[in-house]
Amino acid sequence: MYAVVMAGGSGSRLWPASRGRFPKQFLAITGEKTMLQETLARLHGVAIDGSTVICNEEHRFIVAQQAQEAGEKLSSIILEPVGRNTAPAIALAAFDLLEQSESSSPLMLVMAADHLIQDVKAFQDAVMKASVEAEAGNLVTFGIVPESAHTGYGYIRRGESQGSAYKVEEFVEKPDADTAQSYLDNGGYYWNSGMFMFAADAYLAELEAHRPDIYAACKQAYAERSRDVDFLRVGTEAFSECPDDSVDYAVMEKTSKAVVVPLSAGWSDVGAWSSLWEVADGNDDGNVVSGDVLTHNTRNSYIRAEHRLVATVGLSDVVVVESNDAVLVADKHQVQDVKKIVEQLKLEGRNEVLHHRHVHRPWGVYDSIDNGERYQVKRITVNPGAKLSVQMHHHRAEHWIVVSGTAKVTNGDKEIMLTENQSTYIPVGVVHALENPGVIPLELIEVQSGSYLGEDDIVRFEDRYGRAPAEAK
Q: Check: CB of residue 207 under 8 Å from CB of residue 108.
A: no
Q: Is it the case that residue 240 has pLDDT exceeding 70?
A: yes
Is there a contact between 329 and 320 (Cβ–Cβ < 8 Å)?
Answer: yes
DSSP type of residue 200: H
- Could you read off the pLDDT of 62-117 as tens digits, one per residue? 999 999 999 999 999 999 999 999 999 999 999 999 999 988 899 999 999 999 99
Q: Where are the domains of the chain?
A: 2-268, 273-338, 358-462
Give the span between the Cα atoms of 453 and 374, in whole angstroms.
Answer: 7
pLDDT by residue (tens digit) across 241-266?
999 999 999 999 999 999 999 999 99
* CATH number of the structural domain 358-462: 2.60.120.10
**Cα(first)–Cα(last) distance of the chain, in Å?**
38
pLDDT at 358: 87
The pLDDT of residue 163: 86
H or E stretch at 181: helix 177-186
Nearest to 454 by CA among 387, 389, 369, 371: 371
Burial of 379 (0-12, 13-18, 19+ CB in 10 A): middle
Residues 6+ apart with CB under 8 A from 129: 163, 164, 165, 261
C-alpha distances in Å from residue 72, one per residue of 39, 117, 435, 444: 11, 19, 27, 30
Of the pLDDT bands very low, low, confident and very high (cuts 50, 70, 90), residue 30 is: confident
d(CA 72, CA 252): 30
- The model's pLDDT over 357-366, given as tens digits with 9 standing for 90+, comes to 888 899 999 9
The C-alpha atoms of residue 55 and residue 249 are separated, in whole angstroms, by 21
Between CA 261 and CA 133 the distance in angstroms is: 9
pLDDT, one tens digit per residue, over 431-447 is: 999 999 999 999 999 99
pTM score: 0.89
Cβ–Cβ under 8 Å, residues 56 and 8: yes
Whether the per-residue pLDDT at 473 is higher than 60: the answer is no
Superfamily of domain 2-268: Spore Coat Polysaccharide Biosynthesis Protein SpsA; Chain A (3.90.550.10)
**Closest by CA position to 141, among listed 118, 120, 159:** 159
The closest alpha carbon to 247, from 277, 204, 279, 311, belongs to 204
Of 11, 41, 12, nearest in space to 114 by CA: 11
pLDDT digit string (tens) for 151-191? 889 999 999 998 889 999 999 999 999 999 999 999 999 99
Helices (H), 49-168: 60-69, 86-100, 120-135
Q: Measured in whole angstroms, how far is the alpha carbon of residue 71 from the centre of its chain?
A: 18
2-268 and 358-462: identical CATH topology: no
CB-count exposure of residue 303 (10 Å: 0-12, 13-18, 19+) = buried
Q: Give dist(CA 156, CA 169) in Å, integer.
A: 8
Helix ranges, 192-319 (H): 200-210, 212-223, 236-240, 247, 273-279
Cis bond before residue 16 (omega within 30° of 0): yes
